[in-house]
Each structure stands twice: as C-alpha cells, then as structure tokens.
Amino acid sequence: MESQIVPPILMTTATALAGLIYGFRHRSPGWRSAFAAGSAVWSGAQVLIFMLPHTVVSTAMRILGKSKAISLVHTNIAGVDYDFRLYSLVLVGILFVMQAVNILRAGRAASEGDLAASRRIRRSIWNVLLLAIPLAPISPGIPFLTAPAVLALITQRMLFASGSRVNLSEPRPQAATA
C-alpha cells in the first residue's frame, strides 16, 4: 500500500535540492547568500509546483463536468453555473502562483545582494503564509508550502538584517553569450 505522503515528500526534497544547487552553483558568491537564494528558489518553486497543477486541474475538472458544484453559494447566471467555491479556489490559486513567480524573479537579484529584491521576496513569502495558514485545517499539504516559506523568510532576514545592500564578494563572471 502506497502512502499518500511519499509523493509530496519526494517533490519537496527535489525542489529543496534544486534550490540549493541553484544558490551554490549559479548565482551566489558567498555561502550565506547562496543559502538565502537557494531557500528562496525552493520556496517559490514549491508553491508553483503544488499550486499551479492543483488550480488548473480543479478548474478543468469543474469546467468539463467531472466534479459537481458543492458550494453553498451556487446559482445560475444567464444559463451559466456560478460556483463561489470554484471562483475562490481559482482566485487563491492565482494569488499563490503570482507570489511564487515574484519570489523566483527576485531570487537572482537578492542572491547578488540587492535589498529591494530581498524585500520583494519577504513580502511575497508573507503573502504566501497569510494565504496558506488559514487553509491548514482543510488542506493537509499546507506544511509543504509553509515550511520552505518560513525558512526562506528567515534566511532573507538574516542576510539582510542590516537593512542595506549586502556587499558580497566579487560576483562570478558570467559566461559570454554568442
């Protein structure tokens, strides 16, 4: 009998390793910035990997009629079924995906010592946490989103505790483009 928790644990481990490899191999000159970049990439990738398929599949199943509207607020507007539960699921899913994209976009600049990028990461992580924590009683997968987010929040705060641009060692030269 296969446990339902094994796939999320494998995905979490894979995204954690990918984030840390990104931080240490590609962008970050120091170990602190590498770990901060890696944890931010982990957090953003984790949210993206879990929420994008969940939102798309749930919406597609509802549109294709594979699932029924079970919301208390269900009505028919101009011949189209309106389901508030589906609407809220799509809205929250889009908000999660937007925050994940913001985290991933700001990860590179933050790993190079940019304070503004770190602030964008922290703001997006706070948004993820504010969206995810109230959903914890109804979704067993929430710890897979919140644990990496909390780690990324802590590492970003530690790296940028002084409130100014971090002067990291000389950045690694980028490969020339053809």
**Domain contains 85:** yes
Task: Answer whether residue 3 is part of any domain.
Answer: no
Residue 126 within a domain: yes
How many C-beta neighbours within 10 Å does residue 81 have? 14
| Stretch among 26-35, 83-92, 119-128, 150-159 having the lowest mean pLDDT | 26-35
Q: What is the pLDDT of residue 100?
A: 92
Q: Which pLDDT value is given to residue 170?
A: 46
Q: Which residue has the higher pLDDT, 41 or 1?
A: 41
**175: confidence class by pLDDT, cuts 50, 70, 90:** low
Residue 174: inside a domain, yes or no?
Answer: no
Residue 174: what pLDDT?
54
**Per the domain annotation, does 165 fall within a domain?**
no
CATH number at residue 95: 1.20.1410
As a whole number, mean pLDDT of residues 72-80 equals 67
Contact 115, 162 (CB under 8 A): no
In-domain check, residue 120: yes
Q: Tell me, what's the pLDDT at 69?
A: 60
Please give the mean pLDDT across all residues of the chain: 78
Query: Which range, 11-15, 84-88, 135-139, 163-167, is most confident?
Result: 135-139
Lowest mean pLDDT, pick from 19-23, 53-57, 65-69, 88-92: 65-69
Q: What is the pLDDT of residue 1?
A: 41
Taking the C-alpha atoms of residue 16 and residue 70, their distance in angstroms, rounded to an integer, is: 36
Backbone φ and ψ for 170, nearest 5 degrees, come out as -50, 130
* Structural domains in the chain (count): 1
In a domain, 114, yes or no: yes
Spatial distance between the Cα atoms of 78 and 126, rounded to a whole number of angstroms:
39
Structure-model confidence comparison of residues 139 and 27, the more confident one:
139
Residue 166 forms part of a structural domain: no
Residue 109 has pLDDT above 90, yes or no: no
Tokens of 58: 């749930």
Q: What's residue 17's pLDDT? A: 78
User: What's the pLDDT at 19?
Assistant: 75
- List, for residues 88-103, the tens digit of each pLDDT value: 888 999 999 999 999 9
Task: Please name the residue ranges forming H helices in 64-140.
Answer: 84-111, 115-132
Domain holding 52, by residue range, is: 8-159
Contact 46, 66 (CB under 8 A): no
Distance, in Å, from the CA atom of 99 to the CA atom of 132, rounded to the nearest integer, reads 12
